[in-house]
Amino acid sequence: TDKHPQDLQLFLDKLGTRLQKTPQKGSVADYIPELARVDPDQFALSICFNDGRQFSTGNSTTKFSIQSISKVFTLAIALGRLGDKLWQRVRKEPSGNPFNSIIQLETEQGIPRNPFINAGAIVTTDSILSGSTPKEALAEILMFVRAAASDDDIYINEAVAKSENQTGHRNYSLAHFMKSMGNIENDCDCTLGTYFHQCAIEMSCEQLARAGRFLSGGTDKHHMIDKQRVRSINSLMMTCGHYDGSGEFAYRVGIPGKSGVGGGILAIVPNQASIAVWSPGLDSCGNSLLGTQALEDLSTHYNWSVFGSP
């Protein structure tokens, strides 16, 4: 990719055009009413290489709801604050269950399988909230994301947060169940209010790709968190970043990634690049259908799978 930037740009443009013509685009998340209104016919991709070059295609400056991709940022903040103590409250194992599943919580004493399923992310957010008000915690999360992206033009969509709160019965049940098991420290409404707002952060693919540089070792931000922690977070993205589709994503794409029901995916080529892709149509696991396809094509073409090249 180094010698021929024009080839990469052409590859991306062709990829975008080809995928946008695909008839099977998946379906937009409709359990959050505000997200159901998004036009499914959109596609964007942006790559930031560690040398500072950035390439984009499609609707790459259109903002979308990052949803569960926010869990990567809150995990980084929580690990920075608690260190390994966080692992007393949430584990590091793939769940094999959907993102909003409650079933393992009862048999596993209210300790979620990993920080990327909803239950685990709610615990992670709860840990950031302790000692602060929801407003302060959200300010800290936004500050981290803006610093990572080197861009202050990143905001929370209040309508999306409100919409999710109104229909968030499943997340309420997860939080209250964990509270009953002693694994939520704050008032459930405060913890969930913070969680719904972090999920409602909006970014464009260009912004998100830049924000992901702290995980790819990108030049200007590689001091945001230490290298050991970068490795920890990437490993969790690889094993748990796509819920019960994580094995499939590792098999097809072969790099760490984190999806969100807004249709975005943040993917990391360790030590090389940060990639953001967005297409609102989802597969049956709640991961972007065309986004996954785009990442598979890209990582296959450039041999980016961490599992070896053909």
List residues near ligand GLN by CB under 6 A: 67-68, 99-100, 118, 164, 171, 199, 260-261, 286
For ligand GLN, which is the closer residue by CB, 57 or 163? Answer: 163
For ligand GLN, which is the closer residue by CB, 148 or 199? Answer: 199
28 Cβ contact partners less than 8 Å away, ≥ 6 residues apart: 35, 36, 38, 40, 263, 280, 281, 282
Does residue 261 have an active-site annotation? yes
Q: What is the DSSP string of 6-36?
A: HHHHHHHHHHHHHHHT-S---B---SSHHHH
Which residues make up each annotated binding site? 68, 118, 164, 171, 195, 243, 261
Q: Which residues pair with 55 in a beta bridge?
A: 47
Q: What is the nearest approach in angstroms of ligand GLN to the Cβ of residue 75? A: 14
For ligand GLN, which is the closer residue by CB, 55 or 126? Answer: 126
Does residue 302 have an active-site annotation? no
Q: Which one of the listed residues 72, 261, 269, 277 is annotated catalytic?
A: 261
For ligand GLN, which is the closer residue by CB, 118 or 124? Answer: 118
Q: Which one of the listed residues 46, 56, 63, 71 is annotated catalytic?
A: 71
- Round to whole Å and give the CA distance between 5 and 132: 46
Residue type, 12: L
- φ, ψ dihedrals at 154, nearest 5°: -130, 125
Q: What is the nearest approach in angstroms of ligand GLN to the Cβ of residue 34? A: 11
Q: Which one of the listed residues 243, 258, 279, 288 is annotated catalytic?
A: 243
Q: What is the nearest approach in angstroms of ligand GLN to the Cβ of residue 282? A: 9
Does residue 71 have an active-site annotation? yes
- Round to whole Å and give the CA distance between 239 and 257: 9
- Round to whole Å and give the CA distance between 148 and 198: 15
51 Cβ contact partners less than 8 Å away, ≥ 6 residues apart: 219
- Host H or E run for residue 131: none
What 3-state class would DSSP assign to 172? helix
Rg of the chain over Cα atoms, rounded to whole angstroms, equals 18
For ligand GLN, which is the closer residue by CB, 66 or 233? Answer: 66
Q: What is the nearest approach in angstroms of ligand GLN to the Cβ of residue 2? A: 34
Which residues make up each annotated binding site for substrate? 68, 118, 164, 171, 195, 243, 261
For ligand GLN, which is the closer residue by CB, 217 or 286? Answer: 286
What are the Cα distances from residue 75, in Å, to 68, 71, 103, 244?
A: 11, 6, 23, 20
Q: Which residues pair with 46 in a beta bridge?
A: 56, 276
Q: Which one of the listed residues 25, 38, 95, 195 is annotated catalytic?
A: 195
Q: What is the nearest approach in angstroms of ligand GLN to the Cβ of residue 51? A: 31
Q: What is the nearest approach in angstroms of ligand GLN to the Cβ of residue 270? A: 23
Q: List residues with catalytic annotation.
A: 68, 71, 195, 243, 261
